[in-house]
């Protein structure tokens, strides 16, 4: 995805990502603008461009126009391209986060080929987590190291002065539900 950000306008990529994350959802112009934090005029211009290129379809419902990812060969190719370029850590989070025992995922540190994370929860499925880590390591040459901590331990660590965990949260069950 970083390659795309270097080549294309970040605002276009941000809007495309919104539709890719929720391909079945219909968005109004203001929802797209508010979610992506791009001004409404620019959002309108980008959406019209995406509609004209058949990446997004516009449907008029009453007096409101809603936008949704178009289901065609162009978008399937785009999805395939973007998924290949996806961030291995993001793929890990997407795969593991549905497990109900995982409450938060905190990124401790990350560089080009390694990430260290804290997984908040009790009795985490370590076998499943380790299997996914090994798959990502084999496929993407990206190593993820994790430590399991309980919610009580997390609350205790949050109180340390130099350990600002709130800023490092990359996934939170409470915020996604």
Residue 11: give its domain's CATH number. 1.10.10.10
pLDDT bracket for residue 133 (50, 70, 90):
very high
Q: What pTM does this model have?
A: 0.52
User: Are 41 and 112 found together in one domain?
Assistant: no
Which range marks the domain in which residue 143 is found?
A: 88-176
- What is the number of domains present in the chain? 2
pLDDT digits (tens, 9 = 90+) for 87-128: 788 889 888 988 899 999 988 888 878 999 999 998 888 999
User: Are 95 and 66 found together in one domain?
Assistant: no
User: Are 129 and 164 found together in one domain?
Assistant: yes
pLDDT bracket for residue 139 (50, 70, 90):
confident
Pairing of strands 27-28, 64-69: antiparallel
Measured between its terminal Cα atoms, the distance across the chain in Å is: 26
State how far the alpha carbon of 162 is from the alpha carbons of 44, 145, 166, 167, in Å.
43, 22, 12, 12
Of 84, 107, 128, the last residue of a domain is: 84
User: Are 115 and 146 found together in one domain?
Assistant: yes
Residue 136: give its domain's CATH number. 3.30.460.10
pLDDT digits (tens, 9 = 90+) for 43-84: 999 999 999 999 999 999 888 999 999 988 888 777 766 655
Query: Token pair of 51, please?
Result: 């509609």
Decide: 119 and 129 in contact? Cβ < 8 Å.
yes
User: Are 103 and 116 found together in one domain?
Assistant: yes
Confidence (pLDDT) at 4: 58
User: Are 105 and 63 found together in one domain?
Assistant: no
> Rounded to whole angstroms, how far apart are CA atoms 51 and 56?
5
* Cβ atoms < 10 Å from Cβ of 100: 8
Query: What's the alpha-carbon Rg for the chain, to the nearest Å?
Result: 19
User: Are 40 and 61 found together in one domain?
Assistant: yes
Of 84, 110, 127, the last residue of a domain is: 84
Closest CA to 154 of 137, 139, 172: 172
């Amino acid at each position: 995805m970083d390659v795309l950000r270097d080549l294309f306008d970040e605002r276009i990529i941000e809007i495309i990502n919104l539709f890719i994350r929720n391909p079945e959802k219909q968005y109004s112009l203001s929802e797209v603008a508010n979610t992506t934090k791009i001004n409404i005029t620019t959002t309108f211009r980008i959406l019209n461009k995406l509609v004209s290129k058949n990446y997004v379809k516009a449907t008029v419902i009453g007096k409101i126009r809603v936008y949704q990812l178009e289901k065609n060969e162009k978008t399937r190719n785009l999805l395939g391209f973007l998924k290949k370029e996806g961030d291995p850590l993001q793929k890990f989070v997407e795969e593991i986060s549905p497990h109900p025992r995982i409450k938060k995922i905190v990124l401790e540190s990350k560089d080009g080929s390694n990430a260290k994370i804290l997984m908040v929860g009790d009795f985490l499925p370590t076998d499943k987590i380790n299997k996914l880590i090994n798959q990502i390591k084999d496929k993407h040459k990206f190593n993820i190291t994790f430590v399991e901590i309980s919610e009580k331990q997390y609350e205790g660590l949050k109180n340390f002065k130099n350990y600002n965990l709130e800023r490092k949260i990359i996934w939170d069950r409470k915020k996604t539900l």
